[in-house]
């Protein structure tokens, strides 16, 4: 049985990011809905998506860069 600590670390980081996003979108937008109503919650959701878009673009760039480097080095998984 081999232990791949990089895979475990990547999996843990992905779970933490997913948990954070669930908290922000469900709890945060849910509180907006409870306090100010449906229209404000919809605007909050749109603002969260737009605010998250630069981080998603940077993440996507790094994923592409990682794929490209692995492909050039012949270590494509």
- What is the pLDDT, as a whole number, of residue 50? 96
Identify which has the larger pLDDT, 68 or 74: 68
What phi and psi values does residue 37 have, to the nearest 5 degrees? Answer: 105, 180
Tens-digit pLDDT profile for residues 9-44: 989 999 999 999 999 999 999 999 999 999 999 999
Alpha carbon distances (Å) from 25 to 17, 37, 59: 12, 15, 19
């Amino acid at each position: 049985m081999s232990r791949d600590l990089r895979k475990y670390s990547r999996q843990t980081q992905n779970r933490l990011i997913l948990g954070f996003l669930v908290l922000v979108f469900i709890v945060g937008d849910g509180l907006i809905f409870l306090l100010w109503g449906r229209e404000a919650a919809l605007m909050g959701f749109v603002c969260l998506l737009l605010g998250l878009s630069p981080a998603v673009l940077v993440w996507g760039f790094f994923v592409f860069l990682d794929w490209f480097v692995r492909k050039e080095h012949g270590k494509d998984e």
